[in-house]
Amino acid sequence: MAGRDYSVVEKHLAELAAEGEARLQAGTSALDVVEFTVAEMESCGMYVAGKGSAPNTAGYVELDASIMDGASREAGAVAAIVGVVNPISVARGVLRATPHVMLAGQGALAFAKLEGFELVEDPDNYYVLPVGIYEHEIHEQKHGTVGAVALDTHGGLAAATSTGGTLGKLEGRIGDSPLIGPGTWADDDVAISFTGTGEHIIRSGGAISIAHKVAAGATVATAIDEVLAEIERLGGDAGVIVATADGRIEMAYNSDGMKRAAVSSSSPVYATTFD
């Protein structure tokens, strides 16, 4: 909400963006950097993802995440996974170690255990109310998601998205974030991650709608505007971050605000929530 102080979160986002930029400058791939950045946001408890997630109506936390490499179109995702610290890293594991794109529920957890991903030891005492959400506004906040997009020094694009989903969601509900297409997309031209009400993002096509419009000749800004307008027409709110192969960064939303940060080799770190 405008007027509230999100400076702690903005500072954290600025630091993460700077760390991501340093890694990219050192030659790390965009895929590694988006996984690292999203994993940090999952682990810190400041966002509605990973440690900052809220329980579903059955009283336990189910998480969604996905990751995609633009050049290879390789992708991995987990949906309604329970009990892992970093769903985005399990999603990367699905990309790396299986012939599949998505694992869900018990199968996703079994895979995470088999591959040795870090588990939540004590779920009753692990999850926290995110710093960016004020106690009294928890019922106003309908959703939260973290995402990252990057262009590396080799010209590779990648996108990653992770969420605890919408607050008060039904057990087993899966949103846009683990879906390659609506929630996350990367190809040779764009890398895209969405936040917002997943049902509306899915029904608008979300990230891949933007990618298709850009491939058909639209500017990225126009493509974003058209998809956000469709989400709004359907009754939802959303935000999106996009990185392009020619080094541009676009971030837009039709919600009250979107905590976000950006940096490039030609522009300093920028972090904000509104404007």
Catalytic (active-site) positions: 145
Which of 29, 177 has the CB closer to ligand GLY?
Answer: 177
Residue ranges in contact with ligand GLY by CB under 6 A: 143, 145, 163, 165-166, 175-177, 195-198
Comparing C-alpha atoms, which of 238, 240, 58, 254 is closest to residue 143?
238
Number of other residues whose CB lies within 10 A of the CB of residue 265: 10
Residue 204 contacts residue 225 (beta carbons within 8 Å): no
Residue 69 dihedral angles phi and psi, to the nearest 5°: -100, 125
CB of residue 165 to ligand GLY, shortest distance in Å? 4
CB of 137 to ligand GLY, least distance (A): 18
Integer angstrom CA distances of residue 26 from 31, 73, 153, 197, 230 = 14, 23, 9, 36, 39
Minimum distance from residue 198 beta carbon to ligand GLY (Å): 2
Type of residue numbered 76: G
DSSP states of 220-238: HHHHHHHHHHHHHHTT--E
* Alpha-carbon gap, residue 34 to 113, rounded angstroms: 23
Closest approach, Cβ 18 to ligand GLY, in A, equals 26
Q: Which is nearer to ligand GLY, 197 or 204 (CB)?
A: 197
Closer by beta carbon to ligand GLY, 132 or else 196: 196
Using the minimum distance from each CB to ligand GLY, give the nearer residue, 74 or 199. Answer: 199
